[in-house]
Amino acid sequence: MAGIYLHIPFCKQRCSYCNFHFTTNLNKSYELIEAMIKELVLKSKLFQTETISTIYLGGGTPSILNRLLIEKLVNTIYNNYTIETQKLEFTLEANPEDLIEDNLKFWKQIGINRLSIGVQSMHPETLQWFNRCHTVKQANLGIEKSTQYFDNFNLDLIYGIPIQHHNQLITTTQQILNFKPTHISSYCLTIESKTHLKHVLKQNPQLIPTEQFQIEQYNIVRTLLGQQGYMHYEVSNFSLNCFESKHNSAYWLGKPYLGIGPSAHSYIYPNRFWNISHNQKYIADINQNKSYYQKETLNTHQQFNEYIMFALRTKRGGSFDFIEQHFSKTLAEETLQKLSKLDPNDISIESDYFRLTPQGWLLSDAIASDLFKV
């Protein structure tokens, strides 16, 4: 079981909260995809014994990419990797305005079977404030259309937004639920450095969302989704039964994956690699056979830390047995001892397993770093 992530670093415009790596200039898209194709071929050697069970086209906004280029990319995967055809989860990230009939048909035709749609909000002022490309109307039309081709799709939602009050969040969430998606990713608004949002909030500090406000909204989303049968299986992810994102779950299970494209990360035990975050340099380095990535080899402590980090974000949780077998008995005992001291409302420890409760997830980072070994 292994995954491939393709990073398509293009967007029409920059959303105010986004600090991801991308460009709005599509001129070089052909050269870039060519370079990614080369990378796919190069890296296929690493995965000769692996079967690909998930492919994820992310970004950026892969849905704006020329169909021909997508097809070339996808064919390269099919021609160079062993694919688990029956159970393959093949996701494409799409923006609502790109959800038009021709695109949807084409994506389905080349094997994509899951969409992840960047709705973010159904509150018009919020979409504007975020500098999103789409309108509420476009979202409604696009998602409606998608359901004719795809029954498995995710809708992205952002909460904790200063201008989207509780009742607006409730409306947004209900509207999203009306589409009956199989999966909902709901992200707490994070104010990243070097974003327009950061700048705006610096000018208007009264708008900076409080911890209390964001916690309340977290609980609103959780409750509404829970009522409709969605399982909260990771800090920011909900799904109907059996519709967890296989691709993302693989990250948290420590499965190997290849990241293709500028700034993409790969993991093949015990190494992590990350590609250069610069489109032109990436293209040039790939074409000149120069090194286009950096690498780190995880030591035992770092492996343990990652295990803890994931275990404390997922419903699956972690296992003391696993820690004992892969690391040491002392570490398993130490972990148990530290976790036992937590507020019982934040954690459940049942025989060999430990998992944070949805309330505990709010402190996931603090608890994780307490358990870390450095």
Partner 1 sequence: MKNIRNFCIIAHIDHGKSTLADRLLEYTNTITDRDMMDQVLDDMDLEREKGITIKSHAIQINYRFENQDYIFNLIDTPGHVDFSYEVSKALASCEGALLLVDASQGIQAQTISNLYLALDCDLEIIPVINKIDMDAAKVPEVTDQIVELIGCKPTDIILASGRTGIGINDILSAIIHRIPAPKGDPTLPLQALIFDSVFNSFRGIIIYFRIMNGTLSKNDQIQFVSTEKNYFAEEVGILKLKMQPKEKVNAGDVGYIITGIKNAKEVKVGDTITLAKNPGKAIDGFEEVKPMVFAGIFPVVTDDFEELRECMEKLQLNDSSLTFELETSQALGFGFRCGFLGLLHLEIIQERLEREYNQTVITTVPNVSFRATTTKQELIIVDNPIKMPDPVKINSIEEPFIRAQIITLPEFIGNIMKLCLAKRGNLLNQSYLTQTRVELIFEMPLTEIVFDFYDKLKSSTKGYASFDYTPCGYREADIVKMDILLNNEKVDALSSLIHRSKTHEFGRRLCEKLKELLPKQQFQIAIQAAVGAKVVARENISALRKDVTAKCYGGDVSRKRKLLEKQKEGKKRMKQIGNIEIPQSAFLAVLKLD
Site residues (vs partner 1, CB under 8 A):
3, 5, 7, 187-190, 211-212, 214-215, 235-236, 248, 251-252, 257, 259, 263-267, 272, 274, 296, 302, 305-306, 309-310, 313, 342-343, 361-370, 372, 374
Query: What is the phi/psi pair of residue 50, to 5°?
Result: -100, 150
- As measured in angstroms, the least distance from the Cβ of 141 to partner 1 is 28
Burial class (CB in 10 A: 0-12, 13-18, 19+), 243: buried
> Which single residue is written with the structure tokens 């993991």?
267
Question: Closest distance between partner 1 and the C-beta of residue 60, in Å?
Answer: 12
Nearer to partner 1, 95 or 214 (CB): 214
Q: Which helix (H) or strand (E) holds 258?
A: strand 257-260
Cβ closer to partner 1: 286 or 308? 308
Residue number, 214 or 319, with CB nearest to partner 1: 214
> Shortest gap between Cβ of 370 and partner 1 (angstroms)?
7
User: Which CB atom, from 149 or from 292, has the smaller least distance to partner 1?
Assistant: 292
Nearer to partner 1, 91 or 103 (CB): 91
71-98 in b/e form (b: 16+ CB < 10 A) is eebbebbeebbebeeeebbbbbbbbbbb
Residue 47 contacts residue 258 (beta carbons within 8 Å): yes
Residue in the block written with tokens 């309330």: 359
Q: Parallel, antiparallel, or unpaired for β 114-120 and 89-94? A: parallel
What minimum distance in Å lies between the beta carbon of 7 and partner 1?
A: 8
In the complex with partner 1, the residue whose CB is nearer, 108 or 265, is 265
At residue 95, what are phi and psi to the nearest 5 degrees?
-95, 145
Closest CB to partner 1 among residues 104, 308: 308
Number of Cβ within 10 Å of residue 316's Cβ equals 16
CA distance 215 to 111: 39
Residue (of 152, 154, 150, 142) closest to 100 by Cα position? 142
Question: Between residues 104 and 155, which has the closer beta carbon with respect to partner 1?
Answer: 155
The enclosing H or E element of 147 equals helix 136-149
**Is the CB of 173 or the CB of 305 nearer to partner 1?**
305
Q: What DSSP assignment string belongs to 312-371?
A: TTBSS-EEHHHHHHHT-HHHHHHHHHHHHTS-TTTEEEETTEEEE-HHHHTTHHHHHHHH
In the complex, least distance from residue 222 CB atom to partner 1, rounded to whole angstroms: 13
| CA 218/CA 236 separation, integer angstroms | 9
Cβ nearer to partner 1, comparing 143 with 235: 235
Q: Least distance to partner 1 from the beta carbon of 23, Å?
A: 17
Beta bridge partners of 347: 356
Closest by CA to 256, choosing from 271, 245, 275, is: 271
Omega cis (within 30) before 270: yes
Q: How far apart are CA 252 and CA 77, in angstroms?
A: 23
